[in-house]
Chains A and B, each alone.
Chain A
């Protein structure tokens, strides 16, 4: 048991020194390649702590190697924009004046629900409230709010997401499927062309997959 304690202490000292070398960023701020390194380090540190039949250098050498590689990559990153783009990707505009950029979402492997969740996390409950939203390389969403946006009466309810009607949501607001289809048809759209449709009291928001979003008051909803 004492052996495990000593081994754990030695590895912890190296881990702390290595993490200090990586800088003062928190997990949410790591770039993709840094996140990979943190994951690898966690795995590398755990096994040699407990497996006393393996010399401790089998844990320390990979740890040092990973930290050294991180330092070298970070140093080159500071000077090379090309490498930075290759390792970290680049920020992408996911919401612009036309609304949600579905192509950007596809490239980011994100769906509309992910985006709406992130927007809500930033205190925005509708696309209209946002002029621009940028997905940063560390996975955080930066938004430029639309000061002129009309305030929401309530939380907009998603009724169509990526061409699919949200059955449970329309049941909650006592709306029938046909009414949703009629509204969409009135705007010369097909269901599968709608990326997002929300209802906020009588106010309808429709974001087509291609084209600018539209908002209007709907009757009988």
Chain B
């Protein structure tokens, strides 16, 4: 059975799929600005989409710390657990 974290990761990967620069699948190591077609503004829009999807608020202060899809998953998971 998939863990909650796996489910979160799967949801995020599905949302990021259209931003892939190459055929390589999205992993926890995927770098959000380097490996995906997302500039800093698009990242802000993505955060709003994720907030909507998971019914959470992602504090702006945390965004600079998020580099990889793994970081993003961990951040969202932590916010969901704390809620």
Chain B binds chain A: no
